[in-house]
Amino acid sequence: MGEYGIGQSVPREEDPYLLRGQGRYVDDVTIPGQLRGWVLRSPHGHAAIRSIDIGAAKDMPGVQLILTGKDEAITSLGTQRPMMPRKKKDGSPATGTPHYALARERVRFVGDMVAFVVADTLNEAKDAAEAIAIDYEVLDAVVGVEDALKPEAPTLWPEYPGNAAFVGQSGDKATTDAAFARAAHVAKHRMVINRITTNTMEPRGCIAEYDPRDERTTLRCTVQGPHTIRRFLASEVLKVPENQIRVISENVGGGFGMKGGLYNEYILCVAAARVLRRPVKWIGERSESLLSDEQCRDNVTEAELALDKDGKLLGLRVKTLVNIGAYYASDRPGGPALVNIGVLAGTYVLPAAFADVVTVFTNTMMTGPYRGAGRPEAAYVIETMIDVAAHDLGIDPAELRRRNTIPAAAMPYKTALVYTYDCGDFPRNLEDALVKSDYKGFDKRAKESRRNGKIRGIGISNTVEASNVGLIEHAELRFDPGGSLTVLVGAHDHGQGHQTAFRQIVSEKLGIDPKKINVKWGDTDQIAFGTGTFGSRSMVACGTAITLAAKKIVDKGTRIAAHLMEAGEHDIEFREGKFLVAGTDKSVDMAQIARDSFAPAKIPKGMEPGMVENGTFDGGQRTFPNGCHISEVEIDETTGMVELVRYTAVDDVGHMINPLLVEGQLHGGIAMGVGQALIENIVYDESGQLLSGSFMDYAMPRADDFCAFNLGENEVPTKTNPLGVKGAGESGCVGALPSVMNAVNDAMARIGAPYVHMPATPEKVWKALSEATKR
């Protein structure tokens, strides 16, 4: 409706308060009587704990409580466990490994938690932590995914000999092997996707508070799905009814998947608050974020692509080893490794495919979902294989894609792996992006670069990803008797601008003055239930829930309007916020109807007063955002420095509720993909020490590391939800990772240099360049 309707580029209404420091993050909240918690972490990658002596520490000034793994407050807690059924290599069930809130006999990565100190002030807690004496017996550690599978590697868990955690397969092996048997050409390649970490602007943190009046615990924390956290905390850890827990998550400074889980630090605060009967706050420092936030990616893939003599794809075979870190204590590592494996099928007519995944324990922090959560990894594999095959066969990579892309007319298209794509125009994405990026002019630009001592490369990715994993979502539209509206949503906002977008949907559907709409999220006591924000699901799932609730509001409003205007219900039309009697000039607006709904005298006999409606979406089906990304890099041949010089993308995220927000999501996603491709890297040494443990050593990309992004769109609304949206949060990252790596390696291939794995640091690139000179 008007400038606040669906499809308008409404500026983020969150920005004015967030940019002025007026948001309310967890560390902005102080509760009277609050104590501070500090976690003592393992300095060793792998060690047995011989003894812990808290004697000196417990009497230090301000200390209220010191917890270690053998204290009853910790041993009485339940632990989380994986819910999705998974299998070990031998076929037996992989039931997971416990990750106690504090380590008991053994620590398995640097940063593993050993003691929790609660004191009046943070500094007192830190001083006391330093006085805790722990006797460790240091054990051999292993950090690399391939190293961990070697026979001489130390075993992290006796019940998982050889360090393989769980395995998964997808596709049909026999059909795929048959396709390879008749192939004219098989392209083979090994790919390494390095480990990185999220580095949200706001570190993780929480405050736990116990209220003896009704034995309830309130946990304020940095999470993407408060209700999900409440369920885990109630059912797995505390074993209490869910209604005894309240989880609040107001403004959160970035999640990207990493803030999806119930971290042990939060559990420690809850345990301490219940012992002490006082609120306990823990706020992670940046050095703790780098150690103990779930890390991401980290896998090695061997892939083969079979083609016929005309360059048509016949089959894909993939073997992937995924480093999940030291514990398999929840479903978090399973997401990236297996849940999105179907994305391997890409945008191509690929008759057969088979993927084999083995996850592996190492003495490192756990890996979990990170923007794309398996989709950028899968897209990288298929898009790299297309380029490798194109290079092998001497076919232009754009042309090889053109020959094999699924035509729009073939929709719905059932892939050889998991998904059936409902809609999308993949060939048009490709052709539009080729034009927009001036693909034809590349050779001219490459020659110009050459004159300046630079090698230019161009990389295409034409990807599809699977969003909205199909979990339920809830929204409530709650008019008050004064006629203003509160919208309560089970989705979350940690920087996306959902408040703006949800207001647009409500404004459009109900014609309410946007100023009279209040959007609430992030409090399990206020919002009946919900799932949260991840996997590009919020517009699909929560937008639909809002739409369902709005329809009920209009239906009820119609009955009241008919009653008030003495017309038949079928004669009432609802348009732009007004109930009209067809063929007359009689009308009454939504806000008035809402006010009247609270007056029993004004509503039809037998109708319940009030105007409060719920919408719950069953989650619906997977959506398939897709797009073509084309990168150009220039490589300084004397230093190996890589510069991103051109970036073009044409994306289809379905119907755009707010194109400005979509563009922002794409920018952010692209930046995260480029960051991994070029500079970000988590490095552990052999003993499991984190070498990239500060921002001096972990390189986050900055604005001057990017060129301008030239974005276009190709909206193909999906029919699988009433808004036609597909989700926009992750496609930038999915497209960027393969496209930048293809550009770097296109440059390498042009001068006969070997393949460079991510991140394409000057060191690696220069070494590859010198290989080419030697050849």
Give the residues lining the site for another protein (CB under 8 A): 122-123, 126, 285, 287, 638-641, 679, 683, 691-692, 696-697, 699, 701-702, 704-705, 761-763, 766-767, 770
CB of 638 to another protein, least distance (A): 4
What angle (nearest 5°) sits at the alpha carbon of residue 744, between those of residues 739 and 750?
120
Of 459 and 640, which has the nearer Cβ to another protein? Answer: 640
Measure CA 682 to chain center.
Answer: 18
Among 757, 629, 668, residue whose Cα is nearest residue 299: 757
d(CA 775, CA 764): 17
CB of 617 to another protein, least distance (A): 43
CB of 693 to another protein, least distance (A): 10
What angle (nearest 5°) sits at the alpha carbon of residue 266, between those of residues 261 and 271?
135
d(CA 582, CA 571): 5
Of 414 and 702, which has the nearer Cβ to another protein? Answer: 702
Of 481 and 701, which has the nearer Cβ to another protein? Answer: 701
Of 290 and 314, which has the nearer Cβ to another protein? Answer: 290
Name 301's bridge partners. 191, 320
CB of 691 to another protein, least distance (A): 6
Would you say how long the chain is, in residues?
775
Of 90 and 704, which has the nearer Cβ to another protein? Answer: 704
Hunting for tokens 């009432």 — which residue is that?
572
CB of 775 to another protein, least distance (A): 18
CB of 764 to another protein, least distance (A): 9
Q: Please write down the HEC assignment for all residues of 232-268.
A: HHHHHHHCCCHHHEEEECCCCCCCCCHHHCCCHHHHH
Of 601 and 703, which has the nearer Cβ to another protein? Answer: 703
Of 72 and 685, which has the nearer Cβ to another protein? Answer: 685
Rounded to the nearest 5 percent, the helix, strand and coil shares of the chain are 35, 25, 40
Helices 731-750 and 762-774: angle between axes, nearest 10 degrees = 30
CB of 699 to another protein, least distance (A): 5
Q: Are 386 and 349 in contact (CB under 8 A)?
A: no
The pair of structure tokens assigned to 80 is 């989380």
The pair of structure tokens assigned to 727 is 């989700």
The pair of structure tokens assigned to 607 is 């109708």
Of 340 and 761, which has the nearer Cβ to another protein? Answer: 761
Of 342 and 693, which has the nearer Cβ to another protein? Answer: 693
CB of 212 to another protein, least distance (A): 33
- Single-letter code of the amino acid located at 318: V
Among 463, 461, 454, 460, residue whose Cα is nearest residue 750: 454
What is the CB-side half-sphere exposure of residue 731 using CA atoms within 13 A? Answer: 31
d(CA 329, CA 724): 37
Of 170 and 681, which has the nearer Cβ to another protein? Answer: 681
d(CA 738, CA 9): 29
CB of 441 to another protein, least distance (A): 29
Of 9 and 770, which has the nearer Cβ to another protein? Answer: 770
CB of 121 to another protein, least distance (A): 10
CA distances from 574 to 80, 102, 207, 580 (A): 49, 58, 46, 6
Name 574's bridge partners. 579
CB of 768 to another protein, least distance (A): 11
Among 304, 368, 360, 305, residue whose Cα is nearest residue 335: 368
The pair of structure tokens assigned to 278 is 């006082």
Spatial CB neighbours of 633, under 8 Å, sequence gap ≥ 6:
456, 457, 459, 642, 643, 644, 645, 740, 743, 744, 747
CB of 763 to another protein, least distance (A): 5
Of 599 and 691, which has the nearer Cβ to another protein? Answer: 691
Of 66 and 765, which has the nearer Cβ to another protein? Answer: 765
- Looking at residue 607, the DSSP 8-state letter turns out to be P
CB of 762 to another protein, least distance (A): 7
CB of 756 to another protein, least distance (A): 14
CA distances from 313 to 189, 242, 309, 384, 438 (A): 16, 51, 10, 14, 27
Gyration radius of the chain's alpha carbons: 28
d(CA 440, CA 433): 11
Of 472 and 700, which has the nearer Cβ to another protein? Answer: 700
Among 674, 644, 661, 663, residue whose Cα is nearest residue 758: 674
